[in-house]
């Protein structure tokens, strides 16, 4: 009898399971009691788990597999309480004993004895796992929802079902009725009921290491124009008009209407596709994936109103500006998930993988929120493969690493293509790849980045999914120090910063605001950036008064240098204010990069006619001592390093003499 099965051998496994159970049943009756049907039911469950969630090898399992089944899968999926733990453990012992006695268990009676002995001591542990509320998977959660039958009466929940004393057949009827009641609910209501099932204990939010600078309104408007999904939802609403559209009894688009919409909306769906030389007749609208996505997004966004047998347009949809409509459409897409609307006829592996990849969207794109940021698709795919392998190690063991990695890459590519067509991302330099079976083509490689619309929509989504995003808001009105921080952290380009910031103010007003930011700067990078921006303002003559005000501050060295550079003062006027302060600031910005610090300092000293260290120990900036100590440690020129250490000692004495 064949006891090892691959993922596609569903019928062969079902036949073997039926044969094993038919043979196990009389043995269980003889050795454990004829009225104990639980042994047989538990054995069936174990075999199904072994095929669907584990390796598919029914003959070769050990204690670690039994522990995974009893302590991991059963508590999350199996609708029993902690008092059932002794029965579950006994069932596992009985089936293992029978497998060994019939010569089917690899390792024979010796392995069976070890498993049975260990399981005997696991009863309390299994009971604790069954009682743990955190072990409450979606299958059990579905049984706890408040649902009503077709006659309006409440349907029994998990506890009521378990205490009813019904037969297996009657319980199945009740379960089917619950599922029918659930599936008849509107999509939004189903979503609201099931979303909490997937919510884990929230980890500590991750603060992103940059300031988010929102895109300009003109950039967002241009991005909306390129969004297929936004255009298609609007066209869908227009097509519905005042009369709306009839739906099937199950609440889906009728096939004739779907056929018309595929052409009207240019969805790219293929009616009656050809595969392996055969025409596969499209039987229902749900087979048209992009049209289904448009339909679901429109409903969730409120662009359409879904009644029981009719779909109507929201009459106020076009009263909203395009940017608001686009935000609602794309928020809805992210809420559903790029892969959330796909049918899962391929099985539970594909369904769980879709959920996993959809949950990764915030993580893939959080680092890409800054303007100009991009990432290699292959790097994101590698991360997705790693996460999948860690989340579902049994898949790789069962299907093989190569097959699993190919599936992850193809599904991730499908997700990104949806985001691209929605206008959320750009995907350049990608290449078309045919899957191993020659049945589908998907995209791989290339660079992925967020569009302006994607950055605007994704920042809130990322913030709702475990990240802290510090945003400066509208660049046009921000405080000068906020602008300086954005440029200093490379969250905003300096040219763009000055183009968008206080465009209606005079150069003098902007210069005085930046000068105040320079004076209040707490870090060298802030001072350097403030003076960089001051140096870019035009006309230069209007900047001079603001710079001269800084000659009586700790920023005097910076101000004097910029006045001379822009020919706003003579050496006789400001030469006495020139200092090594700007150099100290510049060197301090690379203090965490010893190699760069060494090369930069030696290069500057080689071009200088003065002893820079002799000037630096007299520098009245708080970073000076730390910088001199770093130069003493990292400069590779031994003579210079020794001089730096001496300069640090002199600086300490100088501070002490001033009472600091």
Q: What is the pLDDT of residue 161?
A: 45
What average pLDDT does this structure show over 168-197?
54
Same domain, 493 and 594: no
Give ∠ CA 370-325-373 in degrees, rounded to 5.
10
Q: Could you report the per-residue pLDDT of 589-609, keeping only the tens digit for each?
A: 999 899 999 999 999 888 876
Q: What is the pLDDT of residue 438?
A: 66
Q: What is the pLDDT of residue 177?
A: 60
Q: What is the pLDDT of residue 94?
A: 92
**β-bridge pairing 447-450 and 375-376:** antiparallel
Q: Say whether pLDDT at 200 is over 70.
A: no
Same domain, 242 and 118: no
Q: Which residues constitute the domain of residue 602? A: 582-657
- Other CB atoms within a 10 A radius of the CB of residue 653 amount to 11
Q: Say whether pLDDT at 78 is over 50.
A: yes
Number of H helices, E strands in the chain: 34, 12
Q: Could you report the per-residue pLDDT of 425-481, keeping only the tens digit for each?
A: 999 999 888 877 666 788 888 999 999 999 999 999 998 888 888 887 778 888 999
- Other CB atoms within a 10 A radius of the CB of residue 278 amount to 8
Q: Say whether pLDDT at 173 is over 60.
A: no
Q: How far apart are CA 502 and CA 509, in angstroms?
A: 9
Q: What is the pLDDT of residue 169?
A: 47
Q: Say whether pLDDT at 130 is over 50.
A: yes
Query: Which residue from 577, 517, 581 is spatially nearest to 552, judged by alpha carbons?
Result: 577
* Chain centroid offset of residue 449 CA: 14
pLDDT band at residue 185 using 50, 70 and 90 as cut-offs: low
Q: Could you report the per-residue pLDDT of 149-164, keeping only the tens digit for each?
A: 556 666 555 445 444 4
Same domain, 115 and 258: no
Residue 180 lies in a domain: yes
Q: How far apart are CA 44 and CA 25, in angstroms?
A: 11
Q: What is the pLDDT of residue 320?
A: 93
Same domain, 47 and 157: no
Same domain, 171 and 262: no
pLDDT band at residue 178 using 50, 70 and 90 as cut-offs: low
Q: Say whether pLDDT at 88 is over 70.
A: yes
Q: How far apart are CA 126 and CA 78, in angstroms?
A: 12
Q: Comparing 307-321, 602-616, 626-640, which segment has the lowest mean pLDDT? A: 602-616
Residue 4 lies in a domain: no
Q: What is the pLDDT of residue 150?
A: 58
Coil, strand or helix at 305 = strand
Q: What is the pLDDT of residue 171?
A: 44
Question: For the chain, how many structural domains are there in total?
Answer: 5
Reported in sequence order, the residue ranges of 402-541 that DSSP labels E, i.e. its strands, are: 425-428, 431-434, 441-444, 447-450, 467-471
* Domain end position, chosen among 452, 481, 510: 452
**Mean confidence (pLDDT) of the chain:** 84
Q: What is the pLDDT of residue 227?
A: 96
Q: What is the pLDDT of residue 163?
A: 46
Q: How far is CA 267 from CA 256, 260, 264, 294, in A?
A: 15, 11, 8, 9
Q: What is the pLDDT of residue 151?
A: 62
Same domain, 158 and 19: no
Give ∠ CA 595-596-599 in degrees, rounded to 5.
85
Same domain, 414 and 513: no
Same domain, 594 and 652: yes
Q: How far apart are CA 105 and CA 46, in angstroms?
A: 14
Q: Comparing 144-148, 322-326, 386-390, which segment has the lowest mean pLDDT? A: 144-148
Q: Comparing 81-85, 228-232, 257-261, 562-566, which segment has the lowest mean pLDDT? A: 81-85
Q: What is the pLDDT of residue 439?
A: 66
Residue 195 lies in a domain: no
Q: What is the pLDDT of residue 137?
A: 43
Q: What is the pLDDT of residue 656?
A: 83
- Helix residue ranges, H only, 337-428: 348-359, 361-365, 377-391, 393-399, 401-421
What average pLDDT does this structure show over 204-219?
85
Residue 2 lies in a domain: no
Residue 340 lies in a domain: yes
Q: What is the pLDDT of residue 49?
A: 86
Coil, strand or helix at 78 = coil
Q: Could you report the per-residue pLDDT of 435-445, keeping only the tens digit for each?
A: 776 667 888 88
Residue 273 lies in a domain: yes
Same domain, 253 and 378: yes
pTM of the model: 0.60
Q: How far apart are CA 546 and CA 515, in angstroms?
A: 6
What share of the chain has pLDDT > 70, as a percent?
85
Q: What is the pLDDT of residue 190?
A: 54
pLDDT band at residue 237 using 50, 70 and 90 as cut-offs: very high
Residue 193 lies in a domain: no
- Other CB atoms within a 10 A radius of the CB of residue 321 amount to 10
Coil, strand or helix at 176 = helix
Q: What is the pLDDT of residue 344?
A: 47
Residue 5 lies in a domain: no
What average pLDDT does this structure show over 266-270?
88
DSSP code per residue over 188-207? HHHHHHHGGGGPPPPPPPEE
Q: What is the pLDDT of residue 158?
A: 43
Backbone angles phi, psi at 466, to 5 degrees: 95, 10
More confident residue, 394 or 153: 394
H/E element, 560:
helix 556-565
Same domain, 107 and 89: yes
Same domain, 288 and 391: yes
Same domain, 163 and 220: no
Q: Say whether pLDDT at 325 is over 90.
A: yes
Q: How far apart are CA 314 and CA 299, in angstroms?
A: 10
Q: What is the pLDDT of residue 275?
A: 67
* Domain end position, chosen among 578, 593, 620: 578
* Domain end position, chosen among 138, 164, 192: 138
pLDDT band at residue 659 using 50, 70 and 90 as cut-offs: low
Q: Say whether pLDDT at 345 is over 80.
A: no
């Amino acid at each position: 009898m064949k006891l090892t099965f691959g993922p596609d051998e569903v019928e062969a496994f079902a036949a073997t399971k039926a044969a094993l159970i038919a043979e196990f049943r009389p043995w269980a009756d003889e050795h454990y009691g004829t009225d104990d049907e639980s042994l047989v039911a538990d054995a069936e469950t174990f075999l199904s788990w072994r095929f669907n969630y584990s390796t598919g090898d029914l003959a070769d399992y050990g204690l670690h597999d039994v522990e995974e089944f009893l302590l991991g899968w059963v508590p999350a999926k199996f609708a029993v309480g902690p008092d059932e733990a002794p029965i579950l453990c006994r069932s596992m012992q009985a089936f293992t004993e029978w497998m060994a006695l019939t010569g089917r268990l690899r390792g024979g009676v010796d392995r069976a004895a070890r498993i049975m002995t260990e399981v005997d001591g696991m009863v309390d542990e299994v009971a604790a796992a069954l009682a743990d509320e955190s072990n409450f998977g979606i299958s059990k959660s579905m049984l706890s929802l408040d649902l009503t039958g077709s006659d309006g009466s409440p349907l029994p929940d998990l506890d009521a079902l378990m205490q009813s004393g019904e037969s297996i057949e009657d319980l199945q009827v009740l379960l089917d009725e619950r599922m029918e009641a659930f599936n008849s609910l509107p999509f939004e209501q189903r979503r609201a009921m099931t979303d909490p099932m997937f919510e884990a204990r929230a980890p500590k939010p991750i603060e992103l290491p940059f300031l988010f600078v929102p895109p300009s309104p003109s950039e967002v408007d241009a991005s909306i124009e390129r969004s297929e999904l936004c255009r298609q939802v609007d066209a869908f609403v227009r097509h519905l008009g005042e009369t709306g559209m009839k739906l099937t009894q199950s609440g889906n688009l009728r096939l004739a209407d779907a056929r018309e919409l595929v052409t009207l909306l240019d969805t790219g769906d293929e009616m009656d596709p050809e595969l392996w030389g055969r025409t596969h007749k499209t039987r229902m609208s749900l087979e048209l994936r992009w049209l289904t996505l448009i339909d679901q997004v429109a409903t969730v966004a409120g662009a359409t109103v879904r009644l029981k047998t009719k779909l109507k347009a929201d009459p106020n949809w076009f009263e909203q500006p395009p940017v608001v409509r686009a935000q609602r459409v794309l928020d809805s897409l992210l809420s559903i998930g790029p892969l959330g609307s796909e049918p899962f006829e391929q099985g539970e592996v594909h369904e769980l993988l879709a959920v996993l990849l959809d949950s990764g969207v915030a993580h893939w794109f959080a680092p890409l929120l800054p303007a100009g940021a991009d990432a290699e698709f292959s790097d994101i795919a590698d991360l997705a493969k790693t996460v999948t392998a860690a989340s579902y190690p049994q898949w790789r063991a069962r299907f093989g690493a190569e097959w699993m990695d190919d599936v992850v890459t193809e599904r991730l590519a499908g997700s990104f293509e949806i985001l691209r067509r929605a206008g959320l991302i750009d995907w350049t330099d990608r290449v078309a790849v045919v899957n191993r079976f020659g049945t589908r083509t998907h995209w791989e490689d290339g660079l992925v980045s967020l569009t302006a619309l994607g950055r605007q929509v994704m920042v809130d989504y990322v913030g709702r999914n475990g990240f802290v995003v510090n945003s400066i808001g509208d660049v046009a009105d921000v405080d000068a120090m906020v602008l300086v921080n954005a440029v200093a952290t490379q969250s905003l380009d300096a040219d763009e910063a000055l183009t968008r910031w206080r465009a209606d103010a005079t150069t003098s007003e902007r210069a005085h605001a930046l000068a105040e930011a320079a004076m209040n700067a707490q870090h060298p990078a802030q001072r350097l950036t403030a003076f960089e921006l001051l140096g870019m303002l035009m006309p230069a003559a209007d900047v001079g008064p603001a710079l001269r005000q800084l000659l009586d501050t700790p920023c005097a060295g910076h101000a004097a240098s910029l006045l001379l550079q822009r020919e706003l003062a003579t050496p006789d006027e400001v030469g006495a204010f020139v200092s090594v302060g700007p150099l100290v600031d510049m060197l301090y910005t690379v203090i965490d990069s010893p190699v760069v610090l060494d090369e930069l300092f030696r290069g500057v000293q080689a071009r200088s006619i003065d002893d820079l260290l002799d000037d630096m120990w007299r520098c009245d900036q708080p970073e000076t001592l730390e910088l001199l100590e770093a130069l003493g440690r990292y400069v590779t020129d031994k003579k210079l390093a020794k001089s730096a250490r001496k300069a640090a000692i002199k600086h300490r004495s100088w501070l002490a003499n001033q009472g600091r």
